[in-house]
Amino acid sequence: MTWIRVIVARCRGLLLRKGVEANLNEELDGHIEMLVEDNLRRGMAPDDARYAALRNFGGTEQMKEEYREQRGLPMLETLAEDVRYGFRQLRRNAGFTLVAILTLALGIGANTAIFSAVYAVLLKPLPFSNAGQLVRVFEANDRAGIGGTACSYLEFREWQRQNHVFSAMAAVAAHELNLTGRGEPMVVRVGDVTSEFFSVLGVKPLLGRAFLAADDQPGAAPVVVLSYDLWRSRFAADPSLVGSSIDLDKKSFTVVGVMPARFQFSFFDEGPGRQLWIPIVQDPLFGPPAMQPLQHLYTALARLKPGISEAQAEAEMQTVGNRLWPEFRPGDKGWVIRTASVRVAVTGEDASAPLFVLLAAVGLVLLIACANVANLLLARATSRAREFAVKAALGASRGRILRQLLTESAVLGLLGATLGIALAYWGVRGLSGLLPRSFPRADSIQVEGWVLVFALVLSLGASLLFGLAPALFAADPRLHSTLQESSGRPGEGKDRRRVRNLLVVTEVALAMALLIGAGLFIRSFASLMSVNPGFETHHILRAEVSLPRFQYSMPQQWVTFSNEALERIQSEPDLRDTAEVLPMPIADQSVNLPFSIVNGPPLPPGRTITADYATISPNYFQVVGIPLLRGRYFSRQDVISSPRVVIVSAELARLYFPHRDPIGQQLVFGFLSDPSGRREIVGVVGDTRAVALSRPPGPALYVPFSQAPLWGVGLVTKTSSSASAAAQEIAAKVHEVDPDLPVTDVQWMTEVVDTSLGQARLRTWLLGLFGVMALILAAAGIFGVISYSVSRRTHEFGIRMALGAGANEILRLVLKEALGLALAGVVIGIAVALGLARPVSSLLFGVRATDPVTLIVLPLVLTGAALLAAYLPARRATRVDPLAALRTE
Amino acid sequence: MTGGKEDILRGTLDLLVLKTLETLGPLHGYGIARRIEQVSEQLLHLNQGTLYPALLRLEQRGWISSKWGTSDNNRRARYYSLTKSGKKQLAREAESWERMVGVIARLLQGEAIIG
């Protein structure tokens, strides 16, 4: 343990330096005095006595130095000294320092901001105990092209009973209900769960209890667990709420518990402040189908037993599944059971790719920033060459000079990081405001713990990156010859110029690659913006009416209500063009249904064909301007008692009736309230991008609402009045039918489309911003190198001008140098961009990775910027006074 | 160094200091230096200054401790004394020194016989 004592003693020595130093001097003086006195006693002359004493004692200063090194922590002291020296150097070159710090702050700040998003979405531990053990369990059928699907409730219960690999399992589903009483009616997000849900996630309620197994029994008393936010915002955090009851869709539920604030389970995107959980069996929508073995509506969550891998779990579940499929997937072959980490389920697969594109982009920005600073440092190292030569002459080793220079770089890097983190903090706050609400875990994006560590490591790494090459050159022992040079201008070797040029070419190349990438995404977004959705969005207002499920439990009630409401709304002159559609285009989650063709060509076994599904009022196509291509629209005569009809999209007709007239053919499909049955095709309409603008139109099926109602009312209105006026009129008409129903989500369709593009827009803006940053940094790099080159060639220009060269010739000479560097960078950058284009091409819409416009315009822009940046120093070169230039030599 | 004086072997200074403090009790730096020179009968050459880094090293390891006191001629001086663990260390170092001396002696004798 001696070494611990030594370190403690050394640290004390470091801290108490002053007192210890005085003590040492006193002790040594005393020693020498005693020596002198002894010598005097021996009869030496006073001078001799002192001289002999000093000789006997040896070199005092040398000894003190040794003593000091022994006393403290010399490494640390040197470091502190270097840091102090570094600060002094940076202060002395305020201009250089400012430019370097700003450059680094931009690079580090952008990286920190984007990394904070990556961290929150992809890396931050989920707020559940041992989140690594949590998996989603789902069925897939590769042969049928089904990547993952929900299971039925009874099937889930069998999984739960028969497996030995999970310590607990829970089933979940989600939708919305109306919360009434105690204030305005509001729509809440309902998590339908089995009683094991909270214990699977390993989270205990803040107040009251979680669900019990008894709550899962059909006929049990209705109970509800509230989220902390809902409890606070709606019920003023009233602790006595537990035990009392609240109304969901006008049915009374007893509040049994409140979850803690941090608990959030965003499987299905939910707004903050309106989440609660009820047992599946008590839900008006998902409760009844829970008893039916073929209603595959539920998502299974499970916690792996300790020591069980996902592969082991999948293997076991496969044997369980093989036993169960005859009952739950009759007739189908090729089913497998898979597991996936809950994180993927929470964030979605497609969240990571765009984030990584952004991270790569900011990474490039930082690299460019580093190259820039490295170039600045190189120039400065040249002008400081004498300083290093003197240091080396005084005995500083190469390593010592290197260490000092790298310390200076680190100081610079950390200053940049400090400012960068401030920028990132500010940027992230702006960023989360811009994020669409559907962005996974957007609320947890912040500059915190690991993000700060990332920023610091990044800045130190960057310091090494930009500091090493200049430091190596500065510490070059050959520089000693500098001292011998008579002129005040130490020479710059060929090596060094090559490095400077290499750096600036790299910089331009990186900027080029990034610009092309940004350009592609901008073009992609532009084509997304201008894509024809296949239906009108201008002057189309949408609104939803939320129906209480317990009151409106029968599909026929939905039809009656919506017919009556629609009729009353249409009686208003400026709302005459009002139609009904569910699910609503773009705004709602789409419904994709399997279907089959009567007397159609046989499908390969195990393959199903699907189409997007919507149920509409007869006038829907006219209201939103979807053209009729063949046959007829629906009419008021297409009701529940008349023959069942369907209208298909042009894409469906093209795919499945390539050589036949689809009119009069029959399809078989069904959905919830509308059990499977044959429907005759009566019309073909134009294709739409109703699922998402970025999705090419797929096959689509439309059925009359009267024949296949869905719960709820989705309204679209072509109107010239204002949104608020129309909303009031709609609400008034709806309330004539039922005064308790809230009219929600009143929005222009253009806004809906806009919102749906939120993520793509943000990504495009950010990439554009980073592209511009890269462009500016690269131009600054060219400016720096050319300025430097011009200042070094003043003498040469003087001679040239003395020999008769005109200003234009000098200008051309300088610009040619800049052009050479820029073009080299641009060519390399294009090559890099083409190489990188393949992985991002799947994120592009309507533009190819080799888009000629991008590949021609942006290189021109960058080259232009480079020439512009070189023009300023070039102009300076033409103003060289030949006489003055020659005299300075 | 000329005049038959030997430089102190590296690493033996610690042993000499510890032994001196064991024999004479608390002593200031000058006292230690003088004692070492006396005992060696002026055969060992000691740059007295080199004593202080050694004293610091020993103190950092906890083998000696120091406090300020007054010398015979009323001068403020720092007195060093052996600690408990210093005593143990002295025993260890003395033993290993003797082993080393033994080895070298045997080696030299052996050489003498063969020679």
Looking at the predicted structure, is the pLDDT value of residue A480 above 60?
no
Under DSSP, the state recorded for A443 is G
Q: Closest Cα of chain A to B104: distance in Å?
A: 30
3-state secondary structure of A61: helix
3-state secondary structure of A296: strand
| Model pLDDT, residue A717 | 92
Task: Judge whether A688 and A535 are in contact, CB under 8 Å.
Answer: yes
Paired with A563 in beta bridges are none
The total of other beta-carbon atoms located within 10 Å of residue A431's CB is 18
CA distance A259 to A395: 68
- Band of the pLDDT at A42, cuts 50, 70, 90? confident
Contacts of A72 (CB under 8 A, 6+ apart): A10, A11, A13, A14, A17
Structure tokens at A228: 């902390």
Residue A236 zone, left/alpha/beta (φ > 0; ψ -120 to 50; rest) = left
Which amino acid is located at A671 in the chain? F
The answer to whether B71 contacts A66, with C-beta atoms less than 8 Å apart, is no
Residue A110, phi then psi, degrees to nearest 5: -60, -40
Helix (H) or strand (E) holding A31: helix A17-41
CA distances from A575 to A374, A729, A730, B92 (A): 66, 9, 8, 104
Least confident of A172-186, A207-221, A617-631: A172-186
The answer to whether A59 contacts B49, with C-beta atoms less than 8 Å apart, is yes
CA distance A669 to A594: 7
3-state secondary structure of A845: coil
The answer to whether B75 contacts A33, with C-beta atoms less than 8 Å apart, is yes
Q: What is the mean pLDDT of residues A703-715?
A: 86
Q: What is the mean pLDDT of residues A62-69?
A: 76
- A279-334 pLDDT, tens digit each: 998 887 788 888 887 778 888 889 999 988 888 988 988 888 888 888 888 767 77
Of residues A395 and B51, which shows the higher confidence score? B51
The answer to whether A27 contacts B29, with C-beta atoms less than 8 Å apart, is yes
Helix (H) or strand (E) holding A686: none
| Model pLDDT, residue B114 | 52
The total of other beta-carbon atoms located within 10 Å of residue A39's CB is 19
ipTM for the whole complex: 0.83
Q: Pick B57's closest partner by Cβ from A24, A56, A70.
A: A70
CA distance A139 to A88: 66
Sign (positive or negative) of CA dihedral A763, A765, A770, A774: positive
Paired with A611 in beta bridges are A593
Which amino acid is located at A290 in the chain? A
Q: Which residue of A lies nearest to B79 if distances are taken between CA atoms?
A: A27
CA distance B53 to A702: 94
The total of other beta-carbon atoms located within 10 Å of residue A148's CB is 13
- Bridge-based pairing of strands A700-704 and A578-582 is unpaired
CA distance A632 to A683: 5
Candidates A610, A606, A570, A571; CA nearest to A591 is A610
CA distance A710 to A285: 11
Asked if the peptide bond before residue A583 counts as cis, ω within 30 degrees of 0, the response is: yes
3-state secondary structure of A175: strand
Q: What is the mean pLDDT of residues A187-195?
A: 87
What angle do the packed helices A352-383 and A385-393 form, to 10 degrees? 70
Which amino acid is located at A192 in the chain? D
Contacts of B57 (CB under 8 A, 6+ apart): A70, B14
What angle do the packed helices A60-71 and A2-15 form, to 10 degrees? 120
Q: What is the mean pLDDT of residues A822-828?
A: 93
Looking at the predicted structure, is the pLDDT value of residue A803 above 90?
no
Question: Is A74 an 8 Å CB contact of chain B?
Answer: no
Query: Best-predicted range by mean pLDDT among A4-13, A14-23, A378-387, A531-540?
Result: A531-540
Least confident of A231-235, A381-385, A573-577, A699-703: A381-385
CA distance A265 to A244: 25
Looking at the predicted structure, is the pLDDT value of residue A627 above 90?
yes
Count of alpha carbons within 13 Å of A414, Cβ hemisphere only?
A: 10
Contacts of A430 (CB under 8 A, 6+ apart): none
Chain B residues contacting A, CB < 8 Å? 28-30, 33-34, 47-50, 52-53, 56-57, 59-62, 71, 73, 75-78
Partner B, chain A 6-65, Cβ-Cβ below 8 Å:
6, 9-10, 23-24, 26-28, 30-31, 33-35, 37-38, 56-60, 62-63
- A691-707 pLDDT, tens digit each: 888 888 889 999 999 88
Structure tokens at B43: 């055969």
CA distance A254 to A260: 18
The answer to whether B76 contacts A67, with C-beta atoms less than 8 Å apart, is no
Candidates A159, A146, A140, A144; CA nearest to A327 is A159
Candidates A186, A191, A187; CA nearest to A175 is A191
- Band of the pLDDT at A346, cuts 50, 70, 90? low
> What is the C-alpha end-to-end distance of chain A, expressed in Å?
65
CA distance A86 to A96: 13
CA distance A862 to A747: 42
Q: What is the mean pLDDT of residues A115-144?
A: 79
Average per-residue pLDDT for chain A = 83
State the count of interchain CB pairs (< 8 A) between A and B. Answer: 66
Helix (H) or strand (E) holding A336: strand A335-341
Structure tokens at A325: 């499929």
Q: Which residue of A lies nearest to B62 if distances are taken between CA atoms?
A: A5
CA distance A650 to A656: 10
Q: Closest Cα of chain B to A18: distance in Å?
A: 16
Chain B residue numbers with beta carbons less than 8 Å from the beta carbon of A71 are: 56
- A247-286 pLDDT, tens digit each: 888 788 999 999 988 777 765 545 556 788 999 988 877 8
CA distances from A520 to A162, A492, A512, A852, B95 (A): 52, 41, 12, 10, 80
CATH architecture of B6-114: Orthogonal Bundle (1.10)
Q: What is the mean pLDDT of residues A628-657?
A: 92
Contacts of A243 (CB under 8 A, 6+ apart): A208, A254, A255, A256
Chain B residue numbers with beta carbons less than 8 Å from the beta carbon of A2 are: 61-62
**How remote is the C-alpha of A835 from its chain's centroid?**
23
CA distance A471 to A494: 17
Helix, strand, coil shares of chain B, percent, nearest 5, are 60, 15, 25
Q: Which residues of A838-870 are buried (b: 16+ CB within 10 A; e: fewer)?
A: eebeebbbbbebebeebbeebbeebbebbbebb
Contacts of A140 (CB under 8 A, 6+ apart): A146, A147, A148, A149, A335, A336, A337, A338
Candidates A831, A767, A780, A828; CA nearest to A363 is A767
CA distance A754 to A204: 40
Give the predicted TM-score (pTM) of the model: 0.70
CA distance A325 to A621: 41
Under DSSP, the state recorded for B6 is E
Chain A residue numbers with beta carbons less than 8 Å from the beta carbon of B77 are: 27, 30
Looking at the predicted structure, is the pLDDT value of residue A487 above 50?
no
Partner B, chain A 142-161, Cβ-Cβ below 8 Å:
none
The answer to whether A27 contacts B49, with C-beta atoms less than 8 Å apart, is no
CA distance A378 to A481: 18
CA distance A404 to A87: 12
Chain A residue numbers with beta carbons less than 8 Å from the beta carbon of B56 are: 67, 70-71
Least confident of A854-863, B8-17, B52-61: B8-17
